[in-house]
Amino acid sequence: MKEIVINPITRLEGHGKITIFLNDEGDVDEAYFQVPELRGFEKFCEGRRAEDLPIITPRICGVCPVAHHMASAKALDAAFNVEPPEPAKKLRELMYCGYFIYDHTLHFYYLGGPDFVVGPDAPPEKRNVLGVIEKAGLEIGKEVIKHRAYGQKITEILGGKATHPVSACIPGGFARPISEEERREIERMVRSCLEFAKFSLKLFDDIVLKNTAYVNLIKSEAYTLKTYYMGLVDKNNKVNFYDGNVRVVDPNGREFVKFSPKEYLDVIEERVEPWTYVKLPYLKKVGWKGFVDGPENGVYRVGPLGRLNAADGMATPLAQAEYERMYATLGGKPVHNTLAYHWARLIELLYAAERALELVTDPEITSRNVRNKPGKPGEGVGIVEAARGTLIHHYQLDENALAKKVNLIVATTHNVPGICMSIRDAAKALIKKGKVTDGILNMVEMAFRAYDPCFACATHFAIGRMPLEVEIYDSQKRLIQTIKR
């Protein structure tokens, strides 16, 4: 039997390893996706002061710290039984939109996008953000750098720091009201981000959707999984990143369950496997049937495509029009094509910019009324949508407002069963008779880059030069083939 190991999987945030086993015919027998790391936040958060949890938990992930900061803030609101005043909620959500702008831009242009924009068969030294710039033009490259930076700057103004913000650490409030001058600066950046989001969708149109080969790749069986989908929705069942109830739809797109944050344990269960440090969640009422798709198995997916599938639409007009266009193009709801995550991500980028503009032009946004008095400490669950999917923080506090117990289910973790299957399916479809080429391995990696997986989370620019080298061993562990790209 042959074994192929890809370690580390590059261009994703966090660590990951793929091991592919071939059978005697040289076809894929099984592929394992392993997360080789654990840090143990659920243990060492015990005993910490409540107000330190929104400071400590963002360190789970430096790519999406704002998501952890906000889930933590909302868990504390619930635990202290306090609602922040409206202006504080709006400031939090504005910061949250800034985070989505930065994160989705980072993924589309720096991490996952190169596969599409430059092309899956392009040489590795071109498959990076510089390759994107080369193909799209230097002026556009500067726009990419500028708008990712704008997203970070919005978080920095509101959160104190862009990476590991601090201002929502106060239950029932926000530490940092903004001045009219700061509001104007944010509005200027948001307007520019809105134009950039429209441009990004047009770029996707021109480079991807007008290329039949790419559209066929998106629609191909190797990149299709028929699973359940999960995402946060507002009262009209529209996508919401910051607040609302969680909705799950079945593989036919029908509502399976809708639940409030404090009910999450009725819906989600996690299992442990001996070959990976990450846990595998599934829908409790459907159960775990292994790495298979379909309505009989409780595997569900989250993140941009999961959210769009789980909702009835977008709450802003331009994003809604793009939402309708995506489903019309890909054959109606739900879309099961994993590579459509990229398209869904850009539609959300547009929504984030439109929503940020609504918030930053809200007359209340400069109010100094940003804090309500917390009640007595108790138990609370906070749920937000991180860029990569539903994020759950659950705290039990003691009478001194110290954390007694902490449970976290982070965005990428929900997608791990789906990622494992997507990698296996891509490997099975693409690797035949022991034929493993550079382009094929990249297409296996593409299966999971679509999810924008962040394994810094799950464990609690790009200047490519060096080739990927894959070694294939036979059953006696003798090196029989080396492939370089």
Partner 1 sequence: MEKPQKLKFAFYWAASCGGCEIAVLDINEKILDVIAKANIVFWPVAMDIKYKDVEAMPNKSIDVCFFNGAIRNSEQEHMAKLLRQKAKVLVAFGSCACDGSVVGLGNLWNREKIFERAYFETPSTRNPERITPQTSFKAPQGELELPEFYDTVKTLAQTVDVDYFLPGCPPPVPRVIDALDAILSGKLPPKGANLLFNKSVCDECPREKKERKITQVKRIYEINDDFKTCFLDQGVICMGPATRGGCGAQCLKANVPCTGCGGPAPRVADQGAAMISAFASIAVDPKVIEQVVDPVGTFYKYSLANSILRRRVIRE
Q: Which of residues 166-185 bind partner 1 (CB under 8 A)?
A: 166-167, 169-173, 175-176
480 near partner 1, rule: CB under 8 A: no
Within 306-365, which residues bind partner 1 (CB under 8 A)? none
Does residue 469 interact with partner 1 by CB under 8 A? yes
Residue 77 C-beta: closest distance to partner 1, Å? 11
Q: Which helix (H) or strand (E) holds 222?
A: none
- What is the separation, in whole angstroms, between the first and last Cα of the chain? 23
Which residues, 367 to 396, sit near partner 1 by CB under 8 A? 374, 394
Minimal distance, residue 302 CB to partner 1, in Å = 15
- Tell me which residue of 260, 279, 252, 11 sits closest to 126, measured CA to CA: 11
Q: Where are the beta strands (DSSP E) in 70-218?
A: none
What one-character-per-residue DSSP string does 67-109 give? HHHHHHHHHHHHHTT-PPPHHHHHHHHHHHHHHHHHHHHIIII
**Does the protein bind partner 1 through residue 304 (CB under 8 A)?**
no
Q: Which of 27, 135, 140, 145 binds partner 1 (CB under 8 A)?
A: 145
- Other Cβ atoms within 10 Å of 264 Cβ, number: 18
Closest CB to partner 1 among 141 and 253?
141
Report the nearest approach of partner 1 to the CB of residue 418 (Å).
Answer: 18
Give the Cα separation of 237 and 252 in Å (integer): 17
Closest CA to 261 of 238, 232, 241: 232
Q: Which is nearer to partner 1, 50 or 359 (CB)?
A: 50
> What binding mask, one character per residue, do residues 122-141 give for partner 1 by CB under 8 A, x or -?
--x--xxx------------
Q: Segment 71-130, which members bind partner 1 (CB under 8 A)?
A: 80, 106, 110-111, 124, 127-129
Residue 435 CB, nearest approach to partner 1 (Å) = 19
Residues 434-453 touching partner 1, rule: CB under 8 A, are 442
212 binds partner 1 (CB under 8 A): no
The binder of partner 1 chosen from 26, 27, 49, 191 (CB under 8 A):
49
Whichever of 19 and 245 has its CB closer to partner 1, that residue is 19
Q: What is the per-residue DSSP string for 381-410?
A: EEEEEETTEEEEEEEEE-TTSBEEEEEEE-
User: What Cα–Cα distance (Å) separates residue 371 from each residue in 167, 168, 375, 436?
Assistant: 11, 10, 13, 59
Whether residue 303 contacts residue 347, with contact meaning beta carbons closer than 8 Å, is answered with: no
Q: Which is nearer to partner 1, 197 or 408 (CB)?
A: 408
